[in-house]
Amino acid sequence: MFFLLRWTVYFFSFYVFIMLSFFALHTYLPGAPPILGFLARTMAAYLSLIACAAYGTIASAILRLFGLHFTYGQWTTAKAFKNLCTYTLGVRFEILDNGEQILNSTRPAVFIVNHQTELDVLLLGWIWPKNCSVTAKKSLRNIPFLGWFMTLSGTIFIDRVDRSAAMKAFEGAAKAMKEKRQSVVIFPEGTRSYSLEPMLLPFKKGAFHLAVQGGVDIVPVVAENYSAVLSPKLKRFNAGTIRVKGRMRPRDDDLFNRVEGLTVETVLDPIPTKGLTPADVDQLTRDTRENMLDVLTAMAQDPGSRAFRNQKKES
């Protein structure tokens, strides 16, 4: 046991030394290649994730004893990751308009978020409400610390290979939403796009079936394309602020106009599903994706997006 602990300390000490060396070379070496900054922040991100997963495992185990793991387990870990990465990565997400109020007052709900890169884990830290869980692929359950934390805190694991098992998981989530008023966060694209331009991959329908089955609101969350901050394709990882919003602009003929009481002009406005049936899911999925894509495109075209273009190539 002591031998294992000693070599663990040696490994992380060497890891931190290399990471800080990359940061120093990136910052102080004239003409340093951008990949040094990419490697430094990537290493810092993984170290921050491991630290917060370890914290989350302990916190969730303690909260589980008091029956509070569904309420606070993932929330406290997400906020810890957000606060830590503010310093280790220098990356922030700015939630525009009244988004904070809607995130914290809409419960239960299905929050759907566009999925760009691994940095979306940090985005979750900024938007995470209490009484909320996340869906994740089943294979993540076996990862040390991260998988332990996710299991203890009530993550909904989805088997992407076995459709019947996936549907049972969604049925369990719908039951938890009704009985415990627990919300769920889902990336409907199912995988990261890594796109350099504002775009969305096709949406999977699971999130929308879940919302209709549970009779809860859908809350779209749109983060602007942030390839100027992180782009694995270009080996770029800068500090920066990424804007988040979700203004919905329905067309005259879309499903949203048939849902009574929907307000569409405020950031992150919920989409009610009351009165909808499984037959409406296809159109609900299509209309939500098209509106989120409109938002994503508009954010790239407004003056606020120039902050990324005008910032230094390397922070």
**C-alpha dist (Å) from residue 268 to 112, 125, 191, 220, 307:** 10, 17, 22, 6, 23
pLDDT at 67: 83
Residue with tokens 């938890």: 176
Q: What is the pLDDT of residues 126-152, one digit of tens each?
A: 999 888 888 887 888 888 878 888 888
Q: How far is it, in rounded angstroms, from Cα 80 to Cα 154?
A: 18
Average pLDDT, the chain: 84
* Dihedral in degrees, nearest 10, Cα atoms 270, 274, 279, 280: -30
Contact 202, 277 (CB under 8 A): no
CATH number of 2-310: 3.40.1130
313: pLDDT strictly greater than 50: no
Looking at the whole model, is its pTM more than 0.75? yes
For residue 114, what pLDDT band results from cuts at 50, 70 and 90?
Answer: very high
265 band by pLDDT with thresholds 50, 70 and 90: very low
Tens of pLDDT, residues 81-92: 999 999 999 999
DSSP 8-state code for residue 72: I
Among candidate residues 239, 230, 268, 228, the one with its CA nearest the CA of residue 87:
239
Residue keyed to tokens 């331009």: 197
pLDDT at position 125: 93
Tell me whether the omega of the peptide bond preceding residue 108 falls within 30 degrees of 0, making it cis.
Answer: yes
Which of 9-18, 89-98, 100-109, 265-274 shows the lowest per-residue confidence on average (mean pLDDT)? 265-274
Phi and psi angles of residue 38, each rounded to the nearest 5 degrees, phi first: -60, -45
Contacts by residues 262-270 (CB-CB < 8 Å, ≥ 24 positions apart): 266/97, 266/98, 266/102, 267/96, 267/97, 267/98, 267/99, 267/102, 268/97, 268/98, 268/99, 268/102, 268/103, 268/219, 268/220, 268/221, 269/102, 269/219, 270/102, 270/106, 270/109, 270/217, 270/218, 270/219
pLDDT value, residue 282 = 96
Contact predicate 192/120, CB 8 Å: yes
Kindly list the domain boundaries of the chain, sorted by start residue: 2-310
Dist CA 121 CA 226 (whole Å): 14
- At 234, the amino acid letter reads L
